[in-house]
Amino acid sequence: MNDKKYPVQKSEQEWRESLSEKEFNILREQGTEAPFTGELNDQYSDGTYLCKGCNAPLYKSEHKFDSHCGWPSYDKAIDGALEHKPDRSMGTIRTEIVCANCGGHQGHVFEDGPTETGLRFCVNSASINFIENQVDKDSEK
């Protein structure tokens, strides 16, 4: 992993205790889940996607789209939420995205998105949580 000091710091043991084995593999060891297996791939409710490692807000639902790649995809992240890093694994150069708050691996960003941003943030479901927008019952009256 990266030696950078992030606002949220935990020992390897603390990370292992707070994450499932799969989450630890993805967030702390740059793993990935198989395409079309993540529980949030087909989630399109209104809300916010948070880092599973530290609960920092990363993406808004209005930026999610179906990229048909098998992972949740967004055309924009919340400003300042992610750090971009060169990734030379897999025999190619890609841009890894990590949570700017805890350094947790989210996935990669590609410049092949179909929207005006031209970006596709390709994210592992196991690296994020979804919080649905709460409807204010008083405003519905």
94-139 pLDDT, tens per residue? 999 999 999 999 999 999 999 999 999 999 999 999 999 976 545 4
The pLDDT of residue 135: 63
106 CB-contact burial (10 Å; exposed 0-12 / middle 13-18 / buried 19+): buried
Mean pLDDT of the chain: 93
The pLDDT of residue 91: 82
The pLDDT of residue 129: 97
In which domain, by residue range, is 91 found? 12-132
Does residue 140 lie within any of the structural domains? no
The pLDDT of residue 3: 67
Q: How far apart are CA 50 and CA 1, in angstroms?
A: 21
Does residue 139 lie within any of the structural domains? no
pLDDT tens-place string over residues 65-91? 999 999 999 999 999 999 999 999 878
Does residue 43 lie within any of the structural domains? yes
Task: Give buried/exposed letters for 62-84 (b at 16+ CB in 10 A, else e).
Answer: ebbeebeeebbbbbbbbeebbbe
Alpha helices in the chain (DSSP H): 12-18, 21-29
The pLDDT of residue 89: 85
**Closest listed residue to residue 18, CA positions, set 129, 111, 116, 121:** 129
Q: How far apart are CA 139 and CA 68, in angstroms?
A: 36
Q: How would you classify the pairing of strands 47-51 and 64-65?
A: unpaired
Number of structural domains found in the chain:
1
Write the CATH number for 101: 2.170.150.20
pLDDT tens-place string over residues 7-59? 999 999 999 999 999 999 999 999 999 999 999 999 999 999 999 999 999 99
The pLDDT of residue 1: 47
Q: Which residues are the active-site residues?
A: 122
Phi-psi group of 125: left, alpha or beta (phi > 0 → left; psi -120 to 50 → alpha; rest → beta): alpha
CB 102 within 8 A of CB 90: no
